[in-house]
Amino acid sequence: MSVPEDLNIDRIANLARLALTDEEKVKFSAQLADVLTNIEKLKQVNVDGVEPTAHAFPIYNVWADDVAKPGLPVEDALRNAPEKRDNMIVVPKVVE
């Protein structure tokens, strides 16, 4: 696959905050060119009458019933706290 002339791998790498070696630039340029070629092929597909979707199959929320349950006992919740006071975890002060 030939790399398109307008494909500036240095600019793309810079935007992605990537430092690429010369070998990586050659490799990724070819891979990106393949991806762009496949996108061009997808543009040729007739999608008239196809409703836009986020998923190929319908997805339904399968949530469990929201039922109140007893919480964790305070002793268990504070068991590993390095320091505790009045049933709370003591943390360093961050606001003056």
- Give pLDDT tens digits for 3-34: 667 788 999 999 999 999 999 999 999 999 99
What pLDDT does 1 receive? 56
Over 90: is that where the pLDDT of 35 sits? yes
Give φ, ψ of 89 to 5 degrees: -85, 130
What pLDDT does 2 receive? 62
Ordered by start, the domain boundaries in the chain are 9-43
- Give pLDDT tens digits for 36-84: 999 999 999 998 988 888 888 888 887 888 899 999 999 999 999 999 9
Distance set, CA 39 to CA 1, 30, 67 (Å): 14, 14, 47
